[in-house]
Amino acid sequence: MMSDDMALVQEFARNNSEQAFATLVSRHVNLVYSVALRRVGEPHLAEDVTQGVFIILAKKAKSLGPKTILPAWLCRTARYVSSHAIRTQQRRHAREQEAHMQSMTNEPDADAWSQIAPMLDEALGSLTQPEHDAVVLRFFGGKPFAEVSAAIGTSEEAARMRVARAVEKLRKFFCRRGVGVSVAVLSGVITANSVGATPAALASAATASAVQGTVVSTGISTLVQSAMKTMTWLKMKLAIGIGVTALIAGTALVAVASKQGAQNHQQDSLLIVPQVSVGKVVRGMTTNEVEAVLGKPDKWRGSIMVYDKEFAMSVVQSGKGAWVVFCGNQMFAESSLKKFNGRTKEGIGAGSSKAEVMKAFGQPDATQATNDGHSLWEQLEYMNNGALTFTFQNDKVVGMIVRFDLAAK
């Protein structure tokens, strides 16, 4: 049979005999398909692999020696083609995942203002007066930073920093109340919606009552008196606060220094909080904010900030800010990545077993498994329990995907 195999191969090589090749295919197709199916695990992909093997046989027919053991050669070729098919499929999966994330970055934030508006003025009230002044000038008045800095008596760079701090405070204010927005989105919706057109007669009525002493309703008069009392109290409170601050300044400096030392001690500990943060990277952070805690990325991949060398993690940016973090070897293709050292509060991280993950998080919502000929790769996806995906290589966690987007919707 084996010598007959090579006779058919040589017949095809010499005369391009379709009948000889068809005989070879019918004789060995089950063998090739079975090898492929075991390797790739998907019937349709196994069919593609099988066709690929016989295409290679046709191309190499003239170079095969007469002592070639064709079934063994076909088995080896099937393994090679299967491995390439798996890698191609994994790269396609990674591209699709990235494309999905890229498409999500363009989702409209049409409902952001309706969620922010009822709380905006309360949020503004939580700012310090210098921060409040800068935000009003910049976003309500639409002033460039040059004019903002001139009005508040600082440099342009200091004005930028003050506005940035203020907007971050506003973002945190809204997040604590269940409205997850990025700094960019928040700035945009405030600028676009915070100041609307007033009724036509209001300006003249306000001028008349304020300047000309026109009689106003009792309700308006009461409002004026109450507001003025509040303003007087706030002025007194500010003066008292300055005195108290001066008394405790020395103690505060010691406490801050102590706290800073503790933070530095914990810098290497990357706690993963699903839907919230990975280490110092917090949901909704802008590119500049991520760079402030991680430094400049080693490279960009579309909207993804890649930190391969030091952190073994990547941060996906969108119009809503940071919303996905890739930790470690999550795409099957980054085998050179250093080990990611972050862990969840349950202690799950790189090196954890599949059993440990399932004990901590339960049954996954979706699974995927492939074998590239060297390692068994698996993914467990938890969409309803923290928006986490764990990637395993031979039963050990080598990567995680932490999503922030679900909690922000």
Q: Which tokens belong to 217?
A: 């309703």
> Mean pLDDT, consecutive 10-residue segments, the chain of 409 residues?
80 91 91 89 88 92 88 91 85 70 49 78 85 87 87 89 90 83 79 61 53 52 54 51 46 44 45 86 87 88 81 82 78 50 88 90 77 71 72 86 63
Residue 142 and residue 117 share a domain: yes
The predicted model scores a pTM of 0.40
Which DSSP string do the residues of 212-224 spell out, in sequence order? S-----HHHHHHH
> In this predicted structure, what is the pLDDT of residue 100?
59
Q: How many CA atoms lie within 13 A of 67 on its CB side?
A: 0
Contact indicator for 159, 152 with CB cutoff of 8 Å: yes
> In this predicted structure, what is the pLDDT of residue 265?
37
**Long-range contacts, stretch 27-32, CB < 8 angstroms, 24+ apart:** 28/70, 28/71, 28/74, 29/54, 31/71, 31/74, 31/75, 32/74, 32/75, 32/78
Residue 28 and residue 124 share a domain: no
Domain assignment of residue 185, given as a range: 112-194
> In this predicted structure, what is the pLDDT of residue 105?
46
> In this predicted structure, what is the pLDDT of residue 225?
56
> In this predicted structure, what is the pLDDT of residue 69?
87
Buried b (16+ CB within 10 A) or exposed e, 335-347: eebeebbbbbeee
Residue 275 and residue 386 share a domain: yes
CA 330 → CA 285, 308, 361, 367, 397, distances in Å? 22, 12, 18, 14, 9
Domain-located, residue 201: no
Residue 364 and residue 262 share a domain: no
Residue 57 and residue 22 share a domain: yes
Residue 393 and residue 321 share a domain: yes
Domain-located, residue 116: yes
Domain count along the chain:
4
Q: Distance (Å, rounded) from C-alpha 368 to C-alpha 361?
A: 17
DSSP 349: B
